Amino acid sequence: MYLLAPNIELLFTEAGDYHDRVRAAAASGFTAVEMWGPTGVDAPATPKDIPALKAALEETGVQLTAQLAEPRTQFMIPPWDHTEFFRKLDEGVDIASELGTPRLVVGSGTGFGGWKRQVQLDKLIEIYQKAIAQIDGSGVTLVLEPVNVRVDHPGSLLDRTAEAVYVARGVDSPDFGVLYDIYHSAVEGEDMAAELENAGDVIKYVQLADAPGRGEPGTGSLDWAERFGILRASGYDGPIGLEYYPQTASEESVRLIREVAAAA
């Protein structure tokens, strides 16, 4: 069975603060959760009480599968000063190590109209090669997320899974890979089976939401038994983040996806 990790920015918010959401997820039978940025900088989130969060994770035995790297950086927009990204990267890795998080999610930022797309993809490779060298030996993996530009992230440079795969192969490190988000890929009209076949083992993390709408599985038009069949056939057997906006109470919203994951 796939390990499902509810996103505690969006799910189990009924419980209150983030550490209490971890406990609520554990009480519902989950052994993993994910979250967005740990400090709330450049993210629509309240800054976390890291000691309280750590205590809740240790108390429940729940694993934090992923968190965002902060700040979200516009890598391609002049004046191309990435100092703060690299400075905060060390802080993010320290927090990840404290919380036992094996992955930091990174992005591409907005594309720059003054450069050819290929130039920008190659610049991303350079940036993330430097980042990987900086955190070498930390045990933390960086996962690059392509996002849809049609609905949620207009202007983002990376909106195609294949281009994120190109960057990951260019970085060429076991500590760098791609976050494949089933929702973003579906919104962009991608063929999931073809994308995963092309990506191979550079897929290091998966997230999901239904499409359209970005609600829980069952609220959109995706066939989840089919999607999980494709995922299983691709060879991916890692955790899956539940990053959706629940349309019902959290515990009810996970019912269908838990059934599908159990059968996959």
Q: Which residues are known to be catalytic?
A: 145, 243
What's the Cα-to-Cα distance from 130 to each of 76, 135, 136, 203, 217, rounded to whole Å? 16, 9, 10, 20, 38
Nearest to 141 by CA among 173, 107, 117: 173
Nearest to 180 by CA among 241, 97, 117: 241
Nearest to 131 by CA among 166, 85, 167, 174: 85
* CA atoms of 150 and 232, how far apart (whole Å): 27
* CA atoms of 54 and 58, how far apart (whole Å): 6
Task: Check: CB of residue 108 under 8 Å from CB of residue 146.
Answer: yes
Residue ranges in 34-188 assigned as alpha helix (H):
50-60, 83-99, 117-134, 161-171, 182-187
* CA atoms of 71 and 34, how far apart (whole Å): 18
Contacts of 213 (CB under 8 A, 6+ apart): 219, 220, 247
The conformation of residue 103, written as its DSSP 8-state character, comes to E
Residue 110: beta bridge partners? Answer: 156
What are the φ/ψ torsions at residue 96 (nearest 5 degrees)? -60, -40
